[in-house]
Amino acid sequence: MNRVYNFSAGPAVLPEEVLREAAEEMMDYRGSGMSVMEMSHRSKLFETIIGDAEADLRDLLKIPDNYKVLFLQGGASQQFAMVPMNLFKNRVGDYIITGQWAKKAHQEAKLYGTANAVASSADKTFSYIPDVSDLPISDDADYVYICENNTIYGTKFKELPNTKGKTLVADLSSCFLSEPVDVSKYGLIFAGAQKNVGPAGVVIAIIREDLITEDVLPGTPTMLRYKTHADEKSLYNTPPAYGIYICGKVFKWLKKRGGLEGMKEFNEKKAAILYDYLDQSRMFTGTVVKKDRSLMNVPFVTGDEELDALFVKESKAAGLENLKGHRSVGGMRASIYNAMPIEGVEKLVSFMKDFEAKHGK
């Protein structure tokens, strides 16, 4: 078996230990004679799988008792509509636009009411996080919305916005479980699983109970109501069962590695290897303001499109996969999620040094 170092932004690298365990259990899960893919979501076996996954997630994030954990489908992008459908009472949402996904969420919310852009970093290609200490929050805003880590542009909120008492809603897809989070500061957190915790097809929502009501926008489909899923413990319909099973294994893997405090220390150490090299390189340049750099997604460029293309081609041949940057930024992007080992980042930096020596002026 020849595993590559996979720097994809998502679907992304998963822990090898988890993949091996899943492979061992593929045909026969714990003596059941069937795969998790085949079993009923109403069975005692699966109830244990989803129950353990929720318990471990609650333990990792220290989720308060007055928050529900929901395992949903439709990805983070479906939440762009589900949030206003469920939380709009005054039909007003304030959005902080720091990248493509916040922009898309903002546009989606406009379908259901007023969506105000109260801050944006679009003026500098989303290369920084705007000052969020004193925003013009609307008096009648139902919530303030952020995308906390920007997968495409490589920025991260280091301080949460001052919402002036309004509910904070956050898309944590690309930094979920990479560091400790004070859940009580948010009304709603959601995250697509395919970047840091599991395969594509699962989105995890953590929502304060007072936000789960029957009072949703007229016409909101049954399947797009948080209450539908909260009342049925994520089992209203057939959930993404196998994805939840893998997420559960990742949660146990995280706990074994020291929980989220341990992961933050590991991720900071790993990211520093790459950022330290970028800061002294004469060829490669990071594209993000230093204080706003993400630990998960690291975009960088040479300033020469042909050289960038050559780098992507040669790095692939060296077993470093999916380093091509997003089309809106260009260059390269290394996504170094929880499951990326330090050895992968070290190999990338070693390759970058060799490439610079070979092609530098």
Annotated binding site for pyridoxal 5'-phosphate, which residues? 76-77, 101, 151, 171, 194, 237-238
| 188 three-class SS | strand
- The residue to which tokens 């150490």 are assigned: 269
Say what angle helices 342-359 and 259-280 make with each other, to 10 degrees. 10
Helix (H), strand (E) at residue 33: none
Helices and strands, number each (H, E), in the chain: 9, 14
Residue with tokens 């989105």: 203
Asked if 101 is an active-site residue, the reply is yes
Count other Cβ atoms within 10 Å, centred on residue 279: 11
Active site residue 253: no
* Residues in the annotated binding site for L-glutamate: 42
Asked if 98 and 146 touch (Cβ cutoff 8 Å), the reply is: yes
Q: CB of 181 within 8 A of CB of 119?
A: no
Phi-psi domain of 89 (left: phi exceeds 0; alpha: psi -120 through 50; beta: other): alpha
Select which of 68, 156, 166, 195 is catalytic.
Answer: 195
Determine which helix (DSSP H) or strand (DSSP E) holds 228, and give its type and residue range: helix 226-231
CB 229 within 8 A of CB 236: yes
DSSP state of 69: E
d(CA 200, CA 177): 16
Crossing angle of helices 44-61 and 259-280, rounded to 10°:
60
Q: Compute the distance between CA of residue 149 and CA of residue 271 in angstroms, rounded to an integer.
A: 15
Of 56, 94, 142, 171, catalytic: 171
Of the residues 56, 101, 142, 308, only one is catalytic, namely: 101
Residue ranges at the known binding site: 42, 76-77, 101, 151, 171, 194, 237-238
Told to judge if 124 belongs to the known catalytic residues of this protein, a careful annotator would answer no
Q: What does the block give as tokens for 345?
A: 């980042």
Catalytic residue list: 101, 171, 195
